[in-house]
Structure 1
């Protein structure tokens, strides 16, 4: 999860593995030339929008322009991966009415910003996502937008309504900022479906929800609460929120305690951190654990320590990344019922209403899968929705693919597996081909690990 522009994360480029999907129709097939009907595209509910006809909607064409932000993508992808390009079409940037002003992209100083991309060659589908961590609307341009645009999908992304390490200041009640993430994603999905209709003459035949980290949480929540808007989703290491735990508020305090020398390795294993991930812990101490714990605890439990982080998580990288000493003693289970109610407002249930594929690396050292996706898979099964879910553990995967460049002998990027999972979801939804059963995707000993990942041979549809 990107927590600030100031957080030192390895910059990277994006993977573009080949995926199957509906064949894109030409612009002429829908009666339009390049950027046809541009003047008709008005985003319902937007307070402001600006529309541009562009020769290439991918980051190859947009890098260095105001139509993307490569700095906000840093660390999410590994270097040396292939990137699709040459997708002409319309881009709409804008924002919905909102009272908070953490997002200064375009100099707007306004939250609830979005981007919608409408390729000339459209395959009839729409992909929606929300920013991971506390990043903004262009964060997954390389990780998601480039490839789905090349496949012919329209694409929409939101900043979730607040961003940056001070996001917890948004709203009036504990939990308001995170609750807004879900509201803004639903709002954008409905608006993007209307924009698609205006551009192409009819609505999307398929709409997919997907995302990384907090974007994975959004995917889970949308498929639980608004299945009528989507046909399926891919959840890449989504954050788990449950009223009584587990969540990052039950695992990260132990990690922070280790930073202060009061926790042992065994204590981290006990709360879910994987054996074998120890080599990643020093980096996460510097870049993730302290800041993540303090700002999310401030979001749901501001009365615990009003002095830290206080009205701001900090103005320098050192201040932002520094942990609160009090968080080393934080015990979510003993906190007042009001704190648990705040989390319950945004909690997941497992009651998904559409097909969902989950991916999680077994070396994730921020959201350890034993305290996250393993639990969520059991929640789905307990709710009787197991037939709608597939869960793939990625051996050697960690929370951000950029760390592969530092540890190529120990890690593998998850992005190629994510692309294969999206392909599998499309086949499941549109052709009835069931994905393989839940399993661990082994780390290959050779081959192009940056650009390929075979989940396994899919199971044929059941007769009848």
Structure 2
């Protein structure tokens, strides 16, 4: 989920329904071009000169937009120019990650009609914010992304946008329509806030395809979806529900939502119940550790448990449970932090998802995944993920895709020693490896798959190379070994 750490939200206000504006349909999808076509597209992208067509750009359905000619679209320039917000992407990438440069073009910032106001970027205090970046030299493609956790629209700038822009792609991202630790206040009924995430990415994809056509005089030849954590969930959902909009996608440890489980609520409460006994040591520590393993937290990941207990497990359980089951804690909003089961009414450490009323799984069902993808998808997930344990998430989703008869459209790579947030690699360089280079390998494998029909290597566990140093692990992740 890649959430920012923070305090519990204040008292719950009346929930609001979010109104979506109308969105113009984009031009019909084109087939993936040949390499010669890509070269021609790059020439077309630069033929009109720097920032050509700026005045004619209109984002369909936007309530507000601001288009700027930018000397550098990557974070090598946008930090200084104010066209990104480093707070949005803090803590998501390793400190040694290099930043590409030399990508001039146009950036369009704005927002779609919405009634919620959690996103404060630009001083707009308006949700459904988006960013669209259009490089002068275009390769004919478009990459769209939703954000991890509850972050804002620039959250993928270091991990995804910099790299794809340097490769010539146009890029678009959305804040998903609600942000922050009180995201669950948006909407009028349980599940509305998360349901809006899916609608907003669909909305942005259609609008961004039109903007690309305005800038380059033709629609994108390929449209790819990608994202990490909650952003990876969006990729899965889009390829299941709107495959007509995309040519394929890369899912970086997407969140699994299933009404019958597994989902967050079937394993996080176990962490909250049993970790304190494990951490305290003594005669019950071994039993507590075994229970955490049974809940899905992998053996060998114990060194990551203190951080996740402090930062992620408790907060994530409470705010997402509030979104789908606000009645559990009555008038209290998002529970009581770090309570022991039975110590207070509505303590999330005692949450029992299977015992909750039928309305709760019904709310989850509204946004649940099915595995019925309609376009090629590559999933990567770290074996030491202890926010979304791999055995309770992507292992299950891969089976769902197979059971739905779509295995031919899916590749799944379990990355040995990868964890949920790459920034943790800096603290444990001898135990962890970053997933970012594996995402890039998956992305290029998807490009080849679509361009030539040559399928990527078979789904497998990608072993950590013996003796590889930190620099090698940050720059390389072969999927065939």
TM-score by length of 2: 0.88
Classify the secondary structure of the residue corresponding to 2:143.
Answer: strand
Decide whether aligned partners of structure 1 residues 29 and 277 sit closer, same or farther in structure 2, where only a CA change above 3 A counts: closer
Distance 2:332 2:400 in 1: 34
Partner residue, 2:409: 388
In structure 1, which of residues 339, 344, 358 is the aligned counterpart of residue 365 of structure 2? Answer: 344
Contact between 1:294 and 1:324, CA under 8 Å: does it hold in 2?
no
Distance 1:291 1:228 in 2: 36
In structure 2, which of residues 272, 278, 288 is the aligned counterpart of residue 264 of structure 1? Answer: 288
In structure 1, which of residues 151, 162, 171 is the aligned counterpart of residue 187 of structure 2? Answer: 171
Partner residue, 1:247: 263
Compute the displacement of 1:323 (Å): 3.8
Distance 2:440 2:45 in 1: 27
Classify the secondary structure of the residue corresponding to 1:366.
Answer: coil
Can you give the 5+ residue segments of structure 1 that lack an aligned partner in the other structure? 8-19, 314-318, 458-464
In structure 1, which of residues 349, 356, 359 is the aligned counterpart of residue 377 of structure 2? Answer: 356
* Alignment deviations for residues 75-109 of structure 1 (CA, whole Å, 9 cap, x no partner): 11111122211100000000000000000011100
Residue 378 (str. 1) matches residue 402 (str. 2): no
Contact between 1:112 and 1:159, CA under 8 Å: does it hold in 2?
yes
Classify the secondary structure of the residue corresponding to 2:434.
Answer: coil
Decide whether aligned partners of structure 1 residues 207 and 324 sit closer, same or farther in structure 2, where only a CA change above 3 A counts: farther
Distance 1:44 1:85 in 2: 29
Distance 2:114 2:194 in 1: 14
In structure 2, which of residues 320, 325, 328 is the aligned counterpart of residue 301 of structure 1? Answer: 325
Distance 2:56 2:396 in 1: 45
Contact between 2:2 and 2:229, CA under 8 Å: does it hold in 1?
no
Distance 2:220 2:439 in 1: 22
Distance 2:44 2:245 in 1: 28
Partner residue, 1:90: 106
Contact between 1:308 and 1:324, CA under 8 Å: does it hold in 2?
no
In structure 1, which of residues 155, 176, 187 is the aligned counterpart of residue 171 of structure 2? Answer: 155
Distance 2:460 2:275 in 1: 33
Classify the secondary structure of the residue corresponding to 1:64.
Answer: helix
Compute the displacement of 1:394 (Å): 0.5
Partner residue, 1:446: 468
Residue 368 (str. 1) matches residue 389 (str. 2): yes
Distance 2:198 2:367 in 1: 8
In structure 2, which of residues 115, 118, 122 is the aligned counterpart of residue 106 of structure 1? Answer: 122
Contact between 2:381 and 2:415, CA under 8 Å: does it hold in 1?
yes
Residue 142 (str. 1) matches residue 158 (str. 2): yes
Distance 1:293 1:242 in 2: 16
* Alignment deviations for residues 99-123 of structure 1 (CA, whole Å, 9 cap, x no partner): 0000001110000000000000000
Classify the secondary structure of the residue corresponding to 2:328.
Answer: coil
Residue 416 (str. 1) matches residue 437 (str. 2): yes
Partner residue, 2:355: 334
Contact between 1:75 and 1:402, CA under 8 Å: does it hold in 2?
yes
Compute the displacement of 1:267 (Å): 1.3
Distance 1:337 1:6 in 2: 31
Relative to structure 2, which stretch is displaced further, 63-72 or 268-277? Answer: 63-72
In structure 1, which of residues 290, 293, 314 is the aligned counterpart of residue 314 of structure 2? Answer: 290
Distance 1:65 1:30 in 2: 22
Partner residue, 1:461: none
* Alignment deviations for residues 183-216 of structure 1 (CA, whole Å, 9 cap, x no partner): 0000000000000000000000000011000000
Q: 1:317-332 to 2 correspondence within 5 Å? A: 322-323=337-338, 325=340, 326-332=347-353
Contact between 1:25 and 1:123, CA under 8 Å: does it hold in 2?
yes
Compute the displacement of 1:266 (Å): 1.2
Distance 2:127 2:300 in 1: 40
Runs of 4+ in 1 over 6 A off after TM superposition: none
Distance 1:217 1:246 in 2: 14
Contact between 1:401 and 1:415, CA under 8 Å: does it hold in 2?
yes
Contact between 2:185 and 2:323, CA under 8 Å: does it hold in 1?
yes
CA RMSD of aligned residues (A): 1.8
Partner residue, 1:402: 423
Partner residue, 1:460: none
Partner residue, 1:3: 3
Compute the displacement of 1:308 (Å): 3.9
TM-score by length of 1: 0.91
Classify the secondary structure of the residue corresponding to 1:261.
Answer: helix
* Alignment deviations for residues 142-199 of structure 1 (CA, whole Å, 9 cap, x no partner): 1000000000000000000001000001000000000000000000000000000000
Contact between 2:45 and 2:216, CA under 8 Å: does it hold in 1?
no
Distance 2:317 2:5 in 1: 18
In structure 2, which of residues 53, 56, 66 is the aligned counterpart of residue 50 of structure 1? Answer: 66
Distance 1:227 1:307 in 2: 41
Contact between 2:2 and 2:421, CA under 8 Å: does it hold in 1?
no
Compute the displacement of 1:421 (Å): 0.3
Decide whether aligned partners of structure 1 residues 283 and 388 sit closer, same or farther in structure 2, where only a CA change above 3 A counts: same
Decide whether aligned partners of structure 1 residues 323 and 91 sit closer, same or farther in structure 2, where only a CA change above 3 A counts: farther
